[in-house]
């Protein structure tokens, strides 16, 4: 089985959606609910880390000389 760090963002989101669905159904024993909640929080953290990493990469753009420079959207201050 893959570790959570090896999961793609999409796979982590799919697993998180499955956990939410199970918890919303409400017929899960308390111990299982706690375990699912903890797994969901770990997956949520992983997704957030992956999004933050992509966001930081997207703030730089390579210019025509191969150098990176900050990327700013017009109209943002």
Q: Give pTM, 2 decimals.
A: 0.69
Q: ∠ CA 44-46-68 to the nearest 5 degrees?
A: 125
- By percentage, how much of the chain surpasses pLDDT 90? 55
Span 54-69, mean pLDDT?
Answer: 71
Q: How far apart are CA 31 and CA 41, in angstroms?
A: 15
Tens of pLDDT, residues 10-32: 999 999 999 999 999 989 999 99
Choose the most confident range, by mean pLDDT, from 4-8, 61-65, 72-76: 4-8
Strand 60-62 with 68-70, pairing: antiparallel
Span 33-53, mean pLDDT?
Answer: 95
Res 59: pLDDT: 73
């Amino acid at each position: 089985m893959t570790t959570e760090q090896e999961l793609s963002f999409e796979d982590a989101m799919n697993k998180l959606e499955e956990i939410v669905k199970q918890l919303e159904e409400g017929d899960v024993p308390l111990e299982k609910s706690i375990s699912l909640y903890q797994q969901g929080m770990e997956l949520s953290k992983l997704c957030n880390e992956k999004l933050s990493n992509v966001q930081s990469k997207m703030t730089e753009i390579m210019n025509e000389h191969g150098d990176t420079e900050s990327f700013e959207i017009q109209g943002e201050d």
